[in-house]
Amino acid sequence: MARTEAFFDTGLRADGRDPSQLRKISCKVGAFKQADGSAYIEQGKTKILATVYGPQEIRGGKSKVLHDRALINCQFSMAVFCTSERRNRPRGDRKTMELNSMLQQTYEAAIRVELFPRSQIDIFVEVLQADGGVASAAINAATLALIDAGVPMKDYVCACSAAMVDDFPFLDLSHLEEIVVGSMVTFACLPRSKQIVLSEMSGRLHLDYLDKVMDAALKGCEDVFHIMDSIVRSQVAHMAAAMG
């Protein structure tokens, strides 16, 4: 018991948040000019950059062409300096491969791929700094980049992590918290239709807690949605004003 008590003995989490409070989210849509779409997001100390190229011609072999829909190609990298302890390489290890396929599956479900047969959409995600919730922040960043690129999607894809600490669901865990809690879930959903497009779990969580933690995570996704939506709207309004 001692450990939970230790980081929850004032009724606030170690960094001063409520159990259901997200970390501060800041983002910038259209961070780079070269790409078709790009976005940068900060969730607490987790900093992620996403760029989108396409829809465009299939690169490389024709063998990859899909006749009824677009090919989604993801590359997930974690900069060697993104963690406190330096990583050996930016990609190709198990963790990034896992996140890569997670990203791919999520967006295959969310992008209206059927509109772009025989073409390719690239989603590149670069983690500049990792402090917990890398998977969810990466998804949020990619969503913004896709919006920036004007790629048609069913809805925003919003993601949030959560874990059970005693009987409290904690949302959006920092790296320190991720280490302490036994298991963590990450959910991504389409907030308007309430469809879950990603559910990922680490460690062992008893089935009885799943509902509770899922509800919390989905609530977190919704909060993320409102934040992202208002940022997108204000930036679009800003741009429109600049264009006259």
Q: Which residues bind other proteins (CB under 8 A)?
A: 1-4, 6, 9-12, 14-17, 21, 23-24, 26-28, 31-35, 38, 40, 42, 44-45, 47, 49-51, 53, 59, 73, 75, 77, 79-86, 90, 122, 124, 126, 128-129, 131, 163-167, 174, 176, 181-183, 203-209
Angle between helices 134-149 and 94-110 (to 10 degrees): 40
Q: Structure tokens of 11?
A: 């009724």
* Short-list 42, 121, 52, CA closest to 82: 42
Instruction: Name the residue nearer to other proteins (CB basis): 12 or 236.
Output: 12
Task: Provide the minimum distance between the beta carbon of 11 and other proteins in the complex, in angstroms, as a whole number.
Answer: 8
Instruction: Name the residue nearer to other proteins (CB basis): 54 or 191.
Output: 54
Instruction: Find out whether 6 and 181 touch, Cβ atoms under 8 Å.
Output: no
Q: How far apart are CA 224 and CA 149, in angstroms?
A: 20
Instruction: Name the residue nearer to other proteins (CB basis): 106 or 174.
Output: 174
Task: Provide the minimum distance between the beta carbon of 105 and other proteins in the complex, in angstroms, as a whole number.
Answer: 19
Task: Provide the minimum distance between the beta carbon of 146 and other proteins in the complex, in angstroms, as a whole number.
Answer: 14
| Cα separation values, 220 from 80, 172, 178, 190, 240, Å | 29, 8, 17, 12, 30
Instruction: Name the residue nearer to other proteins (CB basis): 150 or 182.
Output: 182
